[in-house]
Structure 1
Amino acid sequence: MRHLSILLALAGTPALAQTAPCGGDFESFKAGLVQEAPGYGVPAETAQAFLAGVSRDESVIAADRQQGVFQLDFVEFSRRLISQNRIDNGARFSSQYDATFDRIAQQYGVPRGILLAFWAFETDYGQVQGDFNTANALVTLAHDCRRPELFRPQVFAAMALYGRGDLDPATTTGAWAGEIGQVQMLPGDILENGVDGDGDGHVTLKTSAEDALMSGANVLRSLGWRPNEPWLQEVLVPETLDWAATGLDQPRPAAEWAAMGVQARTGQLSDLPASLLLPVGRRGPAFLAYPNFAVLFEWNESFVYVTTAAYFATRLEGAPVFANADAFKAGLTGQEMQALQGLLVERGYDVGGVDGILGEMTRAAVQAEQRRLGMPADAWPTRDLLDALE
């Protein structure tokens, strides 16, 4: 999980002064955290004990800077992440934890396909949970000045977990960004939404699938998941569609999409409002994204990751492989995407960073320029668009 919101409850407490927001001497930074910890409800002696053996981990910084996999397009990304083995294991674990998934559906309204998809992508159903020291990772990222405001609160959350005996700074390991357990939750999420699913009196996300799945469902519920509603549905679209009407920021009643010629590939369209999503443009797979789809971006901010996970969840619940997988026009390389983003920034667009990744902000800018240039405005950047802007 890459949900990086500040989850520590500080109701009624004024903003706390940060003695060392980021950077500088690492040991001095740690000393500043000790001074600040009581304001977060963590005794100074607990903070000092937690930080005693913590060191800066340069491999964490390297991992933070190297996330090139998200430069892949949706079709290629899906093919890499969705294997027959993951589908088969999804069916096996769905059966093995059937009672837990039924309980989750009743209590939280979150379908098993969604949880199975994230469980698979995050840790291969608990088999690969990461071997980065969690305390080192969190303090390193808080000390680093790229995103300290996201990770600093998680350090204090980890201290709180340590104080209650649920995290050992010397031995607890997980992902490079500090997530722990089978569905990769940050310490703040564990504090706020952790659930003892197996009834043993502890929330142990590394070893208990029941705890991990129940906690993941509770996180989604807290983020606004709407019980018993769909999230993503593959559709077929006519070639005459107004492509400028597509995109996550333009929802409309499904009946209106139907009137425009959009058809469900299987089953029936829901009566909920939905956005028409074209991950690789008008010639590739097409989906209606319902309100629950937006909730998934609170779990992970990557457009291609969320779209692939949401699609995989539908596969795990019986949907077929998407259509038009090889019909779309090739996109840009990472270097070309960065060049395009630079040109869009020059024209006044906020693309969220010139990083070579086709996120939702870049897609919106691409669609606006396609509309301006009289091109099919499907938000899929091609060499033709890059040439036109250059």
Structure 2
Amino acid sequence: MSNNFKMVAKTMFGFEEILEKELKNLGAINVEKGIRNVSFEGDKGFMYKANLCLRTAIKILKPIHGFRVRSEQDLYDHIYKMDWTAYMTYHNTFAIDATVHSEKFNHSLFIALKTKDAIADKFRNTEGKRPNVDLKYPDLRINIHIQKDFCTVSLDSSGQSLHQRGYKTATNIAPINEVLAAGMLLLSGWDGQTDFLDPMCGSGTLPIEAAMIACNIPANINRKEFSFEKWRDYDEDLFEKIMESSLNKTREFHHKIYGFDKAPSAVRKATDNVKNANLGEYITIEQKDFFESEKETEGKLHMVFNPPYGERLAINMEEFYAQIGNTLKQSYPNTHAWFITSNMEAIKNVGLRPSRRIKLFNGKLESKLLKYEIYEGSKKAKFNK
């Protein structure tokens, strides 16, 4: 008999296809793409592997119950009826996350509260004691998702969002989320077959994620913990095996990864984070102004970066983006340059035509991931018209 069950991997807008591909490559079955999520099937070991290895997933949820819901009382009754002793005891702590897309219910906090009451009341009435809520480090994280009039109850196997990889002790004023960084790199076609540069590297997220992709290192190998480690059916030996076999699939990388930043504080932070991720042998972080730099490597260069948006940093955006274009044209031949921006006006000043535009979100900001192909020699002329 198969021990497979359904799971849902949540992701960011625009990464559904990459996540679907990641899941298939890992060995998931019945993979189906949704909006900001991909559902799939696998066994307990696969759930561990998904948490450990997926680069573009934010959470892995395990649905345990679903029902139609017409009122708050309905919700309470259904949750109350469930056998919660299969997942926890009154000694355990728990927390509820609720997401609501419905005309009937419009307050996710109230839905979370109603769910908490039903679980606590059930334990008090059957066991004589109720479990406590711990919002930060609960033993069990429960996810409630209401779509129109259908409620799905899931266990959250990840805990804190999977973008919290565990290698960052220091971030800059405008850090890029690790899942966003990995997704941008995968969308850009980064596969570790050329040299790589992030010319505005901040706290080093893009170079670190680039090295992990190039070497096939599991995305979340540096994390301190996952929620499933506190579950009643947690199998430590199985998790150790999954970790070992994932680490056995790493590969050598024969190119160079560079990160530049002109701020000494950023360079220090990036260097620390690279060290925490144990990737010092692959990544070189330098204090350098991109606008005064030139391409140092022979052959193709793959560049991905997150320039300042002007949201939190005061700069003359038009001039800044014009400098990006000029530096690419004059100093970086034979380069595929990708960057993300939410400043749609400023990109007109780059003076190059992007060959790809992909809509993404950086936090709440609608953004575009743009690709510029810089050729060598004579082809360059056509961009300068």
After TM superposition, the score normalised by the length of structure 1 is 0.24
Structure with higher RCO (Cα < 8 A, 6+ apart): 1
Q: Whose radius of gyration is greater, 1 or 2?
A: 2
Larger fraction in strand: 2
**Which has more helix, going by share of residues?**
1
Query: TM-score by structure 2 length?
Result: 0.24
